[in-house]
Structure 1
Amino acid sequence: MKALTFSCLWALMWLAQFSYAHEIKEPQRIVALAPHIVENLFAIGAGDRIVGTVDYADYPAQANEIERVGGYYGINMERLLSLKPDLVLAWKTGNKAEDLAYIEKLGIPVAYSNPDQVDNVADELRKLGELTHLKTRADRVATEFEVKLAAIRASQQDKLPVSVFYQLWPEPMMTVGGNTWINQLLTICHADNVFANSETDYPRISIENVLVSKPEVIIIPDEKSKKPQPQIDWRQWPELPAVQHNQFISVNADLLHRFTTRMLDGLSEMCGKIDISRKQIQASK
């Protein structure tokens, strides 16, 4: 009850001191509730306006100095309010709905980032440019993204398909379905995700599921974790084509799993590694 009373007190103090119009002329104190939002704000030159963010927002290096207001577990409202933001940028599918509803109820302007297609990154950059009044810089960064993405697609268009298993997480073992961001990136590389037809976006699977799917390549993202993750020695199953051809690829999760301009660096690297595997597989047949 004391916590609730304290939160209400903060809310009343906030509303008494600040009044909001529906449009912010030019926000100078931004709370960004996702790592990809932080990166994109820095990319368009608005990084110095971020006063609060969440765990794992670690790029560029300056982002590590920004005050943390929460993470996947939720947002600390009292800490957020103490930063006096004039705009909160939220990730609709990555932040808790009840937290976002509470922020809106307080009258704090909230804008949402919810990219679900690779091409949406350019749209997100331009939207941030509109919100921060940095349209010229944002449009330039967005155009550079579009040009580079088109070049990667063109470089891959004639490649032969190769079947891949993307080991998203080892324990519990998880992969990606056909509606996911990662599957879109694999498709650009002309890699056929063996679990693309899964009923869920991030299905839990077993060793047996992988054995049945017979991937030619196994892709393992280098994912950050606060505790060491178990390693799966796929060489125990020589019947797997990926084991037979010795095709294991490591990719940078920080690049590939975030909706940012750096994603194209990770995509280019992954496509290049898949292409090497493709050539080695073809040569061995």
Structure 2
Amino acid sequence: MRHFPPRRIVCLTEETVETLYLLGEQDRIVGVSGYAVRPPRVRREKARVSAFISADIPKILKLEPDLVLAFSDLQADIVAALIRAGLPVHVFNQRDVAGILAMIRTVGALVDAADAADQLATSYQQRLAAVASTERPSRKPKVYFEEWDDPLISGIGWVSELIEIAGGEDVLPTLRIHQAAKDRIISPEMVRAAAPDVILASWCGKKVVPDRIRNRPGWSEIPAVRNGRIVEIKSPLILQPGPAALTDGLDAIVAALWPLPMPSELRTTA
């Protein structure tokens, strides 16, 4: 980095943007992902320089950043181009709740706000623990999370963890260890056999169409379909591995799993 803490930061994904705003360090940001919507003011305050797997490299270079924050192997080509151009880049790769908390603390350390970041991360840990310890019926709802509809892709690691924290049971828990979406492709028959009580869907920014789910061959007898428990969770809330997922994303899962009044099949207690 040319300066420490960096004075001019470009964020290529949403979660580092939100983290810097929450830390009160937003004035350091000079460029953001086109998907950044949290907080809403970011859309009018910051230059938009990238999609997820593509970026306007000349525009980023004109912003003269001291630091670029990127995410995962999916942005490897962007990162390589920026490094070749002489820019310092920090690449995150968080895929679970622990990784999200570590990302928050690392962002704080990078901008000389380690104490504030630790306080923020600790507050999220306490919140997660409080939700997980909430007394609920012993019968956990079985949950299928759909990240994409064609082909069917099940939920990534942090989503699966949040389902469990919310008091649900992920019907495909062994798949969450796979980082790449291609390794979480499933068949419709797998979902039918799992018989989820609730279907949560978030199609990576594409609007979820519940009728497409209901009308899949053989799905009419899945309890979630039969009982009308198909719920869309907006992608910015749950599919960005950052503060949104730990707050509004988790709240959306809780609301979907434990609606009031509660479905009769979940009312029995031990």
Is it true that 1:212 corresponds to 2:193 in the alignment?
Answer: yes
Q: In the alignment, is the contact (CA less than 8 A) between 1:171 and 1:229 conserved in 2?
A: no
Partner secondary structure for residue 181 of structure 1:
helix
Q: Percent sequence identity over matched residues?
A: 27
Q: Of residues 85, 105, 109 in structure 1, which corresponds to 2:65?
A: 85
Q: In the alignment, is the contact (CA less than 8 A) between 1:156 and 1:190 conserved in 2?
A: no
In structure 2, what residue type is equivalent to 1:196? Answer: P
Q: Of residues 253, 257, 261 in structure 2, which corresponds to 1:270?
A: 253
Q: If the length of structure 1 is used for normalisation, what is the TM-score?
A: 0.78
Q: Mark the CA change 1:61 to 1:276 in structure 2 (over 3 Å): closer, same or farther.
A: closer
The 5 A counterparts of 1:230-269 are 231-234=211-214, 237-263=219-245, 264-269=247-252
- Segments of structure 2 that go 5 or more residues without pairing to the other structure are none
The 5 A counterparts of 1:76-115 are 76-95=56-75, 97-115=76-94
Distance 1:189 1:159 in 2: 13
Alignment size in residue pairs: 260
Match of residue 124 from structure 1:
103
Partner secondary structure for residue 24 of structure 2:
coil
Q: Mark the CA change 1:208 to 1:231 in structure 2 (over 3 Å): closer, same or farther.
A: same
Q: Mark the CA change 1:42 to 1:94 in structure 2 (over 3 Å): closer, same or farther.
A: farther
Partner secondary structure for residue 107 of structure 2:
helix
Q: Mark the CA change 1:156 to 1:110 in structure 2 (over 3 Å): closer, same or farther.
A: farther
Deviates more, 1:61-70 or 1:270-279: 270-279
Distance 1:253 1:77 in 2: 26
Q: If the length of structure 2 is used for normalisation, what is the TM-score?
A: 0.82
Q: Mark the CA change 1:121 to 1:174 in structure 2 (over 3 Å): closer, same or farther.
A: closer
Could you give the per-residue CA deviations for residues 65-88 of structure 1, whole angstroms, max 9, x where no partner exists? 321222123222211111100111
- Segments of structure 1 that go 5 or more residues without pairing to the other structure are 1-19
Distance 2:256 2:64 in 1: 46
Distance 2:127 2:255 in 1: 15
Match of residue 161 from structure 2:
184
Higher RCO structure, 1 or 2 (CA under 8 Å, sep 6+): 2
Distance 2:21 2:266 in 1: 42
